[in-house]
Amino acid sequence: MAKLWKMVVWMCFLQTLTAFAAESLIVEALSMEQVLRMAYIRNPQMMEARKAIDSAKGRRLQAEALPDPEIDFEIGSLKSEDQGGKKVRPGNLDSVIVSQPLDPIGTRFLKGSMAADDVRIAQGELDIRWAEIRKRVIALYANILAAEKAVEVARDNFNTTKQFFARVETRFQAGNALRSDVLRAKIEVSRAENDFLINEKDLKIFKSQLNLAIGRTAEEPLALTDALGYEPLHYEYEKIKQTAAAQRVDIKNETRRLSSTRKGFWSAVLKTIFPKMTLGYERATQDYSNDSSLLLGASYPLWGFNFGEVKAAKAEQEQQEIRLEALKNQVGLEAYQALIEAELADKQVALQQNALDEANELLRQITIKYEEGDLPFLNYLENLRTIKETRLAYFNALKSYKEKVAELESAIQQTPVPSGVG
């Protein structure tokens, strides 16, 4: 009875362990939209960019605050006195001064406005970072889909070469093929298996890279739902040029930096006109007096009149103007190049689609001819290699097209935030 009870417990344990193992093998397949959403939320660079915004907001609060107040204590009567045979130091509090420094008129407002520009620039940097990450995630997603197809092609080619080897060996046993044909066919089988293993390795690497891009560990299981599809290109240069000029966040950021340098210039000018002020209050109790006073101080840049800071601020403004104009020209070039690359990739997909159809027909034809003895051994091998390369070229063309379209969208800032996130 005890043995039977142990067997029942052991079987229940095995059943539970099997169910847990089966559940752990279930991998949630992710769509492109889900992957992009995870990247926007969990990508380390995006998280860092959001913290940079918080940091800029903190600096803005500090920039808008008044300078730190100052308090001074004056303690006198530290000379030793003889009191009852003991030497003591009375240490009287003679005066207390509380003062509040003030920036030159108008400069604190400009400083706060410049800090607000820094917050908007940090927010723009988040969008710029997202455009780069989105482009990379889409490219990795396409690479995985293409790598999966490459594994399929390599597996099919491996199976085909094994079948071919079996046919050659059969013909050799029947005296209709040379021993060298058998050896060559065996070499082709080894090559096909090696290609299959390499493609499997590439697929694992692409998956690990995408895992890191979406904030997961490299070895975490990953499955994708979308197919490596094709949609015709629908962009025109004049429209994308206008879109890029209007939507590129880096242009907006450089414009904000120009505005900030102008405010810095005017802040330097105001410092040459208005002095730094200090308001204070003094409470004095020295020499039996009990009096209060209001204090007013001023600091003016008499030596040099702050002209050095004005000159430096003016030069920084002019540098930023040059930088902004150069960026606008560069954006037009990037949009033009990205469009040309995408158009070429679009045409290559159509060409490779035609070649793929022809390769499938070629496989059917050479198989029939070889079995009938109308196709030489080496010609058959060469055709098999051409068919495999044509299939891979088609999927690589689709992958390249996806990458080029993503680059074009990044160049014109067509990089929407995924649905469901702020």
> Does the pLDDT value for residue 20 go beyond 50?
no
pLDDT digits 0-9 by tens, 147-195: 999 999 999 989 988 988 898 898 888 888 888 888 988 998 999 999 9
Closest CA to 139 of 363, 362, 382, 403: 403
User: Distance between CA 117 and CA 195 in Å, rounded?
Assistant: 54
pLDDT of residue 376: 83
Of residues 21 and 317, the one with the higher pLDDT is 317
pLDDT digits 0-9 by tens, 60-105: 999 989 889 999 988 766 666 666 666 555 667 778 899 999 999 9
Q: Is 40 helix (H, G, I), strand (E, B) or coil?
A: helix
pLDDT of residue 25: 46
pLDDT digits 0-9 by tens, 362-381: 988 988 887 787 888 788 88
> Does the pLDDT value for residue 221 go beyond 60?
yes
Q: How many CA atoms lie within 13 A of 271 on its CB side?
A: 23
pLDDT digits 0-9 by tens, 313-367: 999 999 999 999 999 999 989 999 999 999 999 999 999 999 999 998 998 898 8
What are the structural domains, with CATH classification, of the chain? 35-78+91-411 (1.20.1600.10)
Q: Across the strands, what pairs with 293?
A: 282
Percent of the chain with pLDDT over 70: 89
Exposed / middle / buried, residue 234 (Cβ in 10 Å: 0-12, 13-18, 19+): exposed
pLDDT band at residue 246 using 50, 70 and 90 as cut-offs: confident
> Does the pLDDT value for residue 228 go beyond 90?
no
pLDDT of residue 81: 63
Percent of the chain with pLDDT over 90: 58
pLDDT band at residue 115 using 50, 70 and 90 as cut-offs: very high
pLDDT of residue 421: 78
Mean pLDDT of the chain: 87
Of residues 326 and 26, the one with the higher pLDDT is 326
Note whether 331 and 372 are within 8 A (CB). Answer: no
pLDDT band at residue 392 using 50, 70 and 90 as cut-offs: very high
Dihedral of the alpha carbons of 345, 347, 353, 359, in degrees to the nearest 10 = -90
**Other Cβ atoms within 10 Å of 307 Cβ, number:** 11
Q: Any idea which of 40-54, 127-141, 167-181 has the lowest mean pLDDT? A: 167-181
